[in-house]
Amino acid sequence: MNLLTAVFICSIVLIGFTTTYSIQSRLPFEERLIFGVVLGVIEVSILGFLLSWAFSVSRTTIFMTVGILLTVNSIFALRRRSVLIADYESLLIRCKRKWNDPLSPKVPIFLLVSSNLLTTRIMQIAYDGTDSGGVAVSHLSVYGDWSAHLAYAASFAYSDNFPPELPTAAGESFSYHFGIDWFSAMFVPLGLDIFSAMQISTVLLGSVLPPILYFGYKRFVSNNRAAVFALLIFLLSGGTAAFFRFLFEDLPKEGPSILLNLPRSYAFDGFDRNWVDNAVTGFLYPQRPTLIGFSALVIVIVLLWENRKIKISSTYVFAGILVGALPVFHIFSFGALLLLSTFWALTSMKKYWLHFFTPALLLGVPVLVWQWPDRDGRSWHQLWVLGKSSWNLNVIDFLWFWLLNTGLVIPIAALGIVRSSREIKRFAIPIFAFLIIPNIAIWHFWIGNNAKYVILFLLLSAPFIGEQVELLFKSGGLRKSLSVALLISLLFTGTLDVWRAMDKTTGPYPVEYLTGSDVLVGEWILKNTPSDATFASANTNTHPVRVLTGRSVVSGSPGRLNDLGINWYSRDQDLRSIYQLQEGYGQLLARYQVTHVVLGPLEKLHYGLPPNYELQIGEELILHGAQLVYDRANYQVYDVQDMQ
């Protein structure tokens, strides 16, 4: 991390912290500071995006963004400086209180430090160099999902992607919540490469999620320990699969040393039996929008909960604006908050909810419409995955599926909500919608996305589970032992997966992600082709054109395009026609406005091209006006802009 990056991060925190003083909400100093990280990221991202669209992505626009927001937000802080000073003095006094005191800030400070260490470790080993000058990765989230996120972030950082188009499908609108990837791109003008930008942004946002969860959960439980139980139950979720696969299969076979080289994920098995992955390794890191979405969801709930009695209009407006911004960052949190708040509004039927819904809908719906895919992937079904993979459509498999994937979470959550106060119960009942939806509908192009509703249920139900565990724990005797056993059943699988993510050498990782030749061609393209160039290249999981340059390509990975509602099959077939020089390939180059064609190891392997095919394709392209502009280390790049 360089000095400019450190200044940028400190500015973000200060911007978000001072923003909290624009509303009259009863938040202690530490909550304002930690909430401020997420609020600052959202503010800086939105204003920085607009300024970069108007001018360019540069160091100047980044610091213009920071300067404007610091100036405006300092007015809020100055106007309420007496409150700020009182909050700070209260923090100093409360720091002297014991750990179990509900007003003590020691627990969230400890959570912040420990989560920062854990997140830093996981990100530290995410990427590494290879002997060939390439890049290796150390876990699946980076090798898989981050291939797309690197392309998205690089398209902003290196390819001036304004107005935003999907860089992995030339000509398509950006039908994805790309806010977190744009935020990562903002670090590149400050001197970081795209890999470091992804790591730094993840550490920043991943570190604050545990204390934010703690602050939110504390509102719905009896003491600090129950809130800690709750956040552990969510973050280390993973079902019960480890009891079978680890205790009865892997551990007896390999012995205790297996903990130093865990061979597989225990919460997820590739959508065969286990569909609901661990919250950290399956959602927080690979699916990067959750880094903002989960935290923002909890912050909005805290604001609405704190405002439920005093009903200050400005707080509803602020919360509504925050919700309205979420489609850019995490569409699922936007939908979840609209669903929850609609239920809360209908049960109270008060006009003050208009202050919340007006900005939320005015800001959020247009973005939602813009992101809406052309294809319709919706369908109705029964019992989600039953009848798919190795599950059968019957009651036994239905119950077994949920026990294997979520353990005892659902019945304990239901018990906790039933035993809560009437006020809390009204807040909690609608979270069961996130269990009903995946069992009756598929609203996405890939059924695996239904797991995102279940993880929202786990996120929102965790305090009620934590409270029931705490009630057993403090009862002593046999009940205390039962609470410990219950905690182990809820945390064991997820703990193994998080431990595995911190181990750089666990099988099959590390694996080569980019070869030295990949890096060389990527660096050359970045320096020698225009930012608006469009490439024909292999639509494999990773490719140097996408992840290193952000240039637009005809097609990225088919599975990820399908997930966004893009007709991946036609693009895949068109690429095959181009590389196999089938009749009409020139018209296909023109249709996608291709400026460059890449021929390298990935293209030869993916499209089954014969040996020495580069000679044949080179002769054909040059004959029709193309130019060979790069020929090194098994890669050729042709400029086809003047082809006839």
Q: 55-91 pLDDT, tens per residue?
A: 999 999 999 999 999 999 999 889 999 999 999 999 9
Q: What is the CA radius of gyration of the chain?
A: 26
Residue 51: what pLDDT? 97
CA 25/CA 39 separation, integer angstroms? 15
**Where does the pLDDT of residue 635 fall: very low under 50, low under 70, confident under 90, or very high at 90 and above?**
very high
The answer to whether 355 and 393 are in contact (CB under 8 A) is no
At a CB cut-off of 8 Å and minimum separation 6, what does 152 contact?
167, 176, 178, 181, 182, 550
3-state secondary structure of 105: coil
How far is the CA of 470 from the CAs of 109, 230, 464, 486, 643, in angstroms?
A: 22, 9, 10, 11, 71
Q: Which residue ranges make up each domain of the chain?
A: 3-159+176-218, 515-639
Task: Check residue 196 and report its DSSP letter.
Answer: H
Q: What percentage of the chain carries pLDDT values higher than 90?
A: 68
Q: Which two tokens stand for residue 286?
A: 């690979």
At a CB cut-off of 8 Å and minimum separation 6, what does 463 contact?
216, 217, 219, 220, 221, 226, 227, 230, 416
pLDDT at 507 over 70: no
The answer to whether 111 and 210 are in contact (CB under 8 A) is yes
Residue 512: which H helix or E strand, with range? strand 511-514
Q: CATH fold of 515-639, please? A: Rossmann fold (3.40.50)
What are the backbone angles phi and psi of residue 460, rounded to the nearest 5°?
Answer: -85, -25
CA 203/CA 119 separation, integer angstroms? 6
CA 617/CA 619 separation, integer angstroms? 5
Q: Tens digit of pLDDT for each residue in 409-438? A: 999 999 999 999 989 998 899 999 999 988
CA 30/CA 48 separation, integer angstroms? 26
**Where does the pLDDT of residue 289 fall: very low under 50, low under 70, confident under 90, or very high at 90 and above?**
very high
Q: Tens digit of pLDDT for each residue in 532-587? A: 999 999 999 889 999 999 999 999 999 888 888 888 899 999 999 999 999 999 99
DSSP string computed for 28-88: -HHHHHHHHHHHHHHHHHHHHHHHHHHS-SSHHHHHHHHHHHHHHHHHHHHHTHHHHHHHH
Rounded to an integer, what is the distance from CA 53 to the centroid of its chain?
Answer: 24
CA 382/CA 379 separation, integer angstroms? 10
The answer to whether 628 and 622 are in contact (CB under 8 A) is yes
The answer to whether 455 and 279 are in contact (CB under 8 A) is yes
Q: Tens digit of pLDDT for each residue in 147-180? A: 999 999 999 999 999 999 999 999 998 889 999 9
**Where does the pLDDT of residue 377 fall: very low under 50, low under 70, confident under 90, or very high at 90 and above?**
low
Residue 417: what pLDDT? 96
**pTM tops 0.75:** yes
The answer to whether 543 and 537 are in contact (CB under 8 A) is yes
